[in-house]
């Protein structure tokens, strides 16, 4: 009953836009190009500012960050996944170790026009590690203001398409997770308590650190590491490659996708909680750098051209997943 109510509410809100047109006639690049370096720079400088106090889970800075995200989705006329004005999926204190306070995932939702029961999740984590005992702020510009503002810009691009009458065929959940730095807690809570059934969740595109250039790609801002695309669905991997070749031509680096890679990044961000439930995933990642989890991870060090290109790739991949005739086949489930 609750799920039916959510779909009814979101249908009425999304339906306030333009008359639905055939989305197959849309040019997705038109909407991808609304994701600009200047817009991302403005947002990252806000989200990774001292005002948000390092966005530590359960603390006032994280609450401010959640309110900022809610405000952006409302500005885009993208409704809550929960109905009404409540964009926060509460994650109770019992889910966390130690003295971490209760927190919340931020959830916004566009209902699909043809296959609304099938849901694509686009995610990031918006928490970081707070402040040190001397009051120095860990701004987390790359980790993960870059990914979270990427999701925000992707959401805006989809909202512009909806306003033009091009509502995606499948539903899209924009999921900003809390507590990733506490052990992938927000995404675990979501997959333990999904707003929409996991068996109807067609894929998860997860963005965690996409604003920097790592030492192995110095001087090249035209790359991105992809992790997990081939783990559960051959079709997802092939779709991802085809979308990139058609629109972006980034260098897709699969170094960290190797099962024998000692970093084990596949298991270290929020997509993994979807993957272990047999939801196909892609993890987008710029690689490691010297400022990881340091107070020097600041907005001035973000490469906004690279961030824009990577966010556009995620948007275009999401567009294809959401609008293809058949849902992705999971052919490698354990």
At 304-320, the pLDDT tens digits run: 999 999 999 999 999 99
Comparison of pLDDT for 146 and 7, the residue scoring more: 146
Q: How far apart are alpha carbons 35 and 48 in whole angstroms? A: 19
CB 138 within 8 A of CB 129: yes
At 40-64, the pLDDT tens digits run: 999 999 999 999 999 999 999 999 9
Q: How far is CA 149 from the centre of its chain?
A: 9
CB 253 within 8 A of CB 226: yes
CB 234 within 8 A of CB 295: no
At 162-178, the pLDDT tens digits run: 999 999 999 999 999 99
Q: How far apart are alpha carbons 316 and 310 in whole angstroms? A: 10
Q: How far apart are alpha carbons 144 and 47 in whole angstroms? A: 10
How many alpha carbons fall within 13 Å on the CB side of residue 206?
29
Model confidence, pTM:
0.94
Q: How far is CA 307 from the centre of its chain?
A: 13
Please check the confidence at residue 15 and state whether its pLDDT lies above 50: no
Cα separation values, 311 from 211, 249, 316, Å: 10, 13, 9
Residue with tokens 């997860």: 206
Question: Which residues face 225 on adjacent strands?
Answer: 253, 285
Range with the lowest mean pLDDT among 8-17, 30-39, 54-63, 74-83? 8-17
Characterise 327 by phi-psi region: left (phi > 0), alpha (psi -120 to 50), beta (else).
beta
- The per-residue pLDDT for 254 is 98
- Strand 223-227 with 251-253, pairing: parallel
DSSP assignment, residue 332? -
At 122-135, the pLDDT tens digits run: 999 999 999 999 99
């Amino acid at each position: 009953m609750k799920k039916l109510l959510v779909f009814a509410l979101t249908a009425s809100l999304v339906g306030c836009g333009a008359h639905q047109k055939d989305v197959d006639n849309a040019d997705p690049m038109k909407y991808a190009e609304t994701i600009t370096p200047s817009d991302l720079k403005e947002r990252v400088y806000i989200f990774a500012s001292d005002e948000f106090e390092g966005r530590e889970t359960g603390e006032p800075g994280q609450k401010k960050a959640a309110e900022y995200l809610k405000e952006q989705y409302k500005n885009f006329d993208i409704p809550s996944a929960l109905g009404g004005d409540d964009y926060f999926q509460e994650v109770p204190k019992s889910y966390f170790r130690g003295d971490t306070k209760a927190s919340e995932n931020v959830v916004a939702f566009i209902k699909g026009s043809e296959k609304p029961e099938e849901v694509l999740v686009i995610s990031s984590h918006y928490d970081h590690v707070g402040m040190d005992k001397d009051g120095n702020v860990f701004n987390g510009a790359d980790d993960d203001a870059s990914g979270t503002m990427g999701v925000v810009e992707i959401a805006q691009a989809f909202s512009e398409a909806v306003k033009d009458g091009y509502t995606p065929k499948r539903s899209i959940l924009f999921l900003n997770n809390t507590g990733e730095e506490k052990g992938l807690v927000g995404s675990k809570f979501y997959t333990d308590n999904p707003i929409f059934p996991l068996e109807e969740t067609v894929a998860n595109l997860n963005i965690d650190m996409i604003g920097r250039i790592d030492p192995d790609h110095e001087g090249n801002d035209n790359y991105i590491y992809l992790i997990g695309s081939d783990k559960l669905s051959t079709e997802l991997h092939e779709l991802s490659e085809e979308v990139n070749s058609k629109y972006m031509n980034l260098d897709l680096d699969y170094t960290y996708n190797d099962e024998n890679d000692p970093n084990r990044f596949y298991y270290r961000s929020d997509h993994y909680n979807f993957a272990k439930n047999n939801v196909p995933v892609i993890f987008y990642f710029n690689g490691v750098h010297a400022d990881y989890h340091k107070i020097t991870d600041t907005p001035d060090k973000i490469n906004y051209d690279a961030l824009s290109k990577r966010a556009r790739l995620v948007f275009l991949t999401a567009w294809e997943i959401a609008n293809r005739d058949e849902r992705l086949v999971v052919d490698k489930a354990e």
